[in-house]
Structure 1
């Protein structure tokens, strides 16, 4: 595999924006992401700049990790957010211990099935553990079987926690997590 996996740099916001927009055009984007292509496209450049700074190499609260193809094109990404014990998460649940939260997972279709996603997850977990996370979690739509299979493959397991989406929809998402191995 001739790909480079690394954290983004703050000045790479245009590339980060382009990859996010590509992700939001995926056929299962409505199950995988909490925003639409049109919503993301309407955001000002300042939003993308701030987002890149917050997830860039050297940041301790979040890290956006990308995979670059042989020609330098960004072909995959995931972001790990750090959630501190004693805080409340985006869904209103209490965070009981310091943990990572994986969001924004995407690999371009032509690069799927070659092990790239596993390498992205390895890098994301390594970063979360280096920040003192005791576990890393992610939230996946109950109907997104493709993502659930991938998450199991990279070591995540369902925790039994269900996160309801908009009440009118009756849909929910499932929490998956992995706990750091004792050294």
Structure 2
């Protein structure tokens, strides 16, 4: 059974463990580099600050008693658009519904905040992630994301509508809107 834990800044060691694993395992999937979060960048206060982004949601997926995935939802200047960031699932847990569950929990959070769409940036060559996002109701946009380290290519921006009429085929989100959110930060969502 997949459990989703909502993290607080006090849970920074768990977030740190997963984030470093993500940056090591999939270095080309993120705008951050492993080196940015090691050495002088590997400070408790920095990890706490990352989990203290105002009005954000930071999740860890637990499978078989161990953390195997992570995702965050963060506000944007546009209150109707919220961002999904820092999404990663350990290779051993891929294909078991962990990514779907994390995406849908962030979508539910965005919906509950009054959001109309959830946005994310994905690397153009990350076919596995794009497949997950497409399955979850995201569609590529014409909007360009940040430049990649090569200075030529850019991240691709994907959007997922959150309004029931706009996303009526996305059953996972609408299942979640019928089941009230369990827990507050630091609790577990079964």
With normalisation by structure 1, the TM-score equals 0.82
Which residue pairs with 1:69 in the alignment?
Answer: 63
Moved more, 113-122 or 34-43: 34-43
Q: Which has the higher contact order (CA 8 A, sep 6+)?
A: 2
1:156 aligns with 2:128: no
Does the 8 A contact of 1:64 with 1:80 survive in 2? yes
Give distance in 2, aligned partners of 1:115 and 1:106. Answer: 12
Distance 1:23 1:139 in 2: 16
Runs of 4+ in 1 over 4 A off after TM superposition: none
Structure 2: gaps of 5 or more residues: 166-190
Match of 2:52, SS state, is helix
Q: 1:33 to 1:167 in 2, by over 3 A?
A: closer
Q: Quote the offset at 1:63 in angstroms.
A: 0.6
Aligned to 2:27: 29
Kept in 1, the 8 Å contact 2:8–2:58? The answer is no
Q: Does 1:122 align with 2:104?
A: yes
Q: Which residue of 1 is the match for residue 44 of structure 2?
A: 45
Gaps of 5+ in 1: 86-96
Q: Which residue of 2 is the match for residue 83 of structure 1?
A: 76
Residue in structure 2 matched with residue 5 of structure 1 by the alignment = 4
Calculate the TM-score normalised by the size of structure 2. Answer: 0.79
SS at match of 1:53: coil
The answer to whether 1:136 aligns with 2:118 is yes
Q: Deviation of residue 160 (structure 1)?
A: 1.6
Whether contact under 8 Å (1:82, 1:133) holds in the other structure is: no
Give yes or no for contact 1:77–1:107 (8 Å, CA) kept in 2.
yes
Cα distance in structure 2, aligned partners of 1:103 and 1:116? 15
- Counterpart of 1:121 in 2: which secondary structure? helix
**1:164 offset after TM fit, Å?**
4.7
CA contact (8 A) 2:123 2:154 kept: yes
Report the 3-state secondary structure (helix = DSSP H, G, I; strand = E; otherwise coil) of the residue aligned with 1:173. strand
